Amino acid sequence: MTFLALVRHGQTDWNLARRIQGNTDIPLNDTGRAQAVETASRLVGTSWDAVLTSPLSRARETAQIIAAALGLPEPTSEPDLVERRYGDAEGMDYQELHERFPVGIVVPGRETHREVQLRVHAALIGIARQHPGRSLVVVCHGGVISSLVRHATGGGRPRADERIANGSVHSFSYTGGELRLDEFNGEPVNQPALQAVPEVP
């Protein structure tokens, strides 16, 4: 069995301003670095084998802080763990998004939810298969984690009142070709296993 602790990166200035980041490479702010240190303190005491990360700097720096605290090597970058691409909407706040692109209007260059789901599920299952029997910290993004949680719970989580908070940890396990959500932000979750998502024909 492979264990995967999915961590959302620490805060950035765009998080604070509620601007859509997507693939835009916005660095951590000081609050985000403090959040990474706090997350690392919660992971200390458990045996971890490696830290993997999205290549975007906000995730990579979070991963580096965690790896240093755990006494692990430099994190390995995994390109398919990047945040959802928002295309022309990147840099907008949510009011601007709804004004420029009302419901039903396609945002040029934005990745669909289904595309995100296929990409990140395949990436996480691939990581688990490459590290059988290991315990891994995987630092990525709110949209990536939300996609995995939503599919694993049949849309039941995250609920409308739940956020994938900066620095939060969500635990998955992989065994027998199946991926399962075990904890949502530290809360045990009893959910059916999530199998690999088939590719779109």
Residue 176 CA neighbour count, 13 Å, CB half: 3
Closest Cα partner for 42 from 171, 198, 152? 171
The answer to whether residue 110 sits within a structural domain is yes
**Containing domain of residue 6, as a range?**
2-195
Asked whether residue 72 is domain-assigned, the answer is yes
Cβ atoms of 122 and 80 within 8 Å: the answer is yes
Mean of pLDDT values over 190-199: 50
117, part of any domain: yes
115 occurs within a structural domain: yes
* Better pLDDT: 193 or 114: 114
Q: Find out whether 150 is annotated in a ligand binding site.
A: no
pLDDT averaged over the chain? Answer: 92
Instruction: Report how far residue 30's alpha carbon sits from residue 190's, in angstroms, rounded to the nearest whole number.
Output: 36
Asked whether residue 201 is domain-assigned, the answer is: no
Residue 29 included in any domain: yes
Let me know if residue 200 belongs to a domain: no
pTM of the shown model? 0.91
Q: 61, 74, 78, 83: which is the annotated catalytic residue? A: 83
- What's residue 161's pLDDT? 86
Q: Is 74 annotated as a binding residue?
A: no
Spatial contact of 51 and 137, defined as CB atoms under 8 Å apart: yes
- Name the domain count of the chain: 1
Residue 86 among known ligand-binding residues: yes
Banded model confidence at residue 194, pLDDT cuts 50, 70, 90: very low
Q: Is 113 a catalytic residue?
A: no
pLDDT at position 125 over 80 = yes
Mean pLDDT for 98-118 is: 93
- Tens digits of residue pLDDT in 129-165: 999 999 999 999 999 999 999 888 888 888 888 889 9
Is pLDDT at 192 greater than 80 in this prediction?
Answer: no
> Is 15 labelled as part of a ligand binding site?
yes
Instruction: Confirm whether 9 is a catalytic residue.
Output: yes
DSSP helix/strand/coil, 46: coil
Tell me how far apart the alpha carbons of residues 1 and 111 are, in angstroms, rounded to a whole number: 32
> Which residues, in sequence order, are CB contacts of 44 under 8 Å at separation 6+?
69, 70
Lookup: tokens for 43:
């992971």
Q: How confident is the model over 177-195, as a mean pLDDT?
A: 77
State the Cα–Cα distance between residues 7 and 111, nearest whole angstrom.
22
Q: What is the tens place of the pLDDT at every residue in 24-46?
A: 999 999 999 999 999 999 999 99
CATH number, domain containing residue 145: 3.40.50.1240
Answer yes or no: is 113 within a domain.
yes
pLDDT of residue 160: 83
State how far the alpha carbon of 10 is from the alpha carbons of 30, 44, 55, 130, 162, in Å: 9, 17, 14, 27, 17
The per-residue pLDDT for range 71-89, each reduced to its tens digit, is 999 999 999 999 999 999 9
* 85 is known to lie in a ligand binding site: yes
